[in-house]
Structure 1
């Protein structure tokens, strides 16, 4: 499904696979394999492609036919993993609206990105279990279960788990972005 969506967005922008690959700093073979459903891209690759296509990451997973009330069953959530599964995001929101809600799990000793990531949105993160370090610019904020932080995502930011147990959190992003 993601490959079809990438091809659809790429062709709508009159962009060749080579142009997309060059702009996203990935191989043409990778774009071809993703578009044909042969391989699943890493979270970092999806982010790069989404940025080039100027679309939110999870819009690449969007299902057509928006309903007036969208119910997302826990066992039917879209999932995106980092290359080594240090972080996993599940889309809690339906994905066609003005806010994106994700449930994240960050493994012990892992970071959501390296270095900090930027995108044109606002974020609110709420820790469900464990302890999460939120880095925004050069500032660090330690959040425990029930704590939250809201910030402008245009500032370089990332999430870290400096503990020996996984941390679970909810993340709301508006507007959805890459």
Structure 2
């Protein structure tokens, strides 16, 4: 298990540095609300052991598990990865966000440890921050074999996306469709859903969610 300094300089598979401590962030929020690990586990429906391992940086949660935990705090996944520092970087309002400014919000990509291979092959990059915008936009890439996790997840709002390249299997409320480049989707995000790339090439999607509850 690499220490924190090593993880911060390792970077993701695309070579972009990751400077975010998932465990420390979760622990800080939990303590600020006066919750014990056991109480948080009871309220979120995950095990106390999982919370302990996440906070000690011994494992990375799946998207579904982390969303269950964050629901107790009233936080979205995107909000969790948005720190005061990232908001300060955008003190002057802008309408252009360079590639280097897009923030990764997939815990498997940020954490690098203890994740399933399929989840680690998913990249979810947020365009902008939540401070000034009521629309969440993501640049998503799914390498062959990528999977948002064995469990479906749900959140308030609507989401839609356009497949730029490759193909993706989208499951919504136990219905499954395969989308190819040029296809798009739009559905009620409260319905349980997941994404999988079962093809042999990378899939690229640009998506949006409103309100930004993902």
**TM-score with structure 1 setting the length:** 0.80
Alignment partner, residue 19 of structure 1 = 39
Deviations 1:38-61 (A, max 9, x none): 567334343232222221101111
- Offset, 1:75: 2.0
Partners in 2 of 1:100 and 1:177 — Cα distance? 8
Aligned length: 174
Alignment partner, residue 100 of structure 2 = 75
Contact 1:91 1:101 in 2 (8 A): yes
Show structure 2 runs of 5+ residues with no match: 1-19, 109-114
**TM-score with structure 2 setting the length:** 0.68
Deviations 1:102-161 (A, max 9, x none): 111222233323232211121111111111222211323332222211100111111122
Alignment partner, residue 89 of structure 1 = 124
Partners in 1 of 2:191 and 2:137 — Cα distance? 19
Which of structures 1 and 2 has the larger relative contact order (alpha carbons within 8 angstroms, sep 6+)? 1
C-alpha change, 1:6 and 1:144, in structure 2 (3 Å) is same
Contact 2:168 2:203 in 1 (8 A): yes
Contact 2:53 2:59 in 1 (8 A): no
Contact 1:17 1:32 in 2 (8 A): no
Bigger strand share? 1
Bigger helix share? 2
Contact 1:127 1:144 in 2 (8 A): yes
Partner SS for 2:186: strand
C-alpha change, 1:154 and 1:126, in structure 2 (3 Å) is same
Partners in 2 of 1:95 and 1:31 — Cα distance? 24
Partner SS for 1:158: strand
Alignment partner, residue 139 of structure 2 = 103
Alignment partner, residue 55 of structure 2 = 32
Partners in 1 of 2:159 and 2:135 — Cα distance? 10
Partners in 1 of 2:186 and 2:27 — Cα distance? 34
Among 36, 49, 53, the alignment partner of 2:69 is: 49
1:84-163 correspondence runs (5 A): 84=117, 85-96=120-131, 97-163=133-199
C-alpha change, 1:134 and 1:30, in structure 2 (3 Å) is same
Show structure 1 runs of 5+ residues with no match: none
Partners in 1 of 2:136 and 2:59 — Cα distance? 22
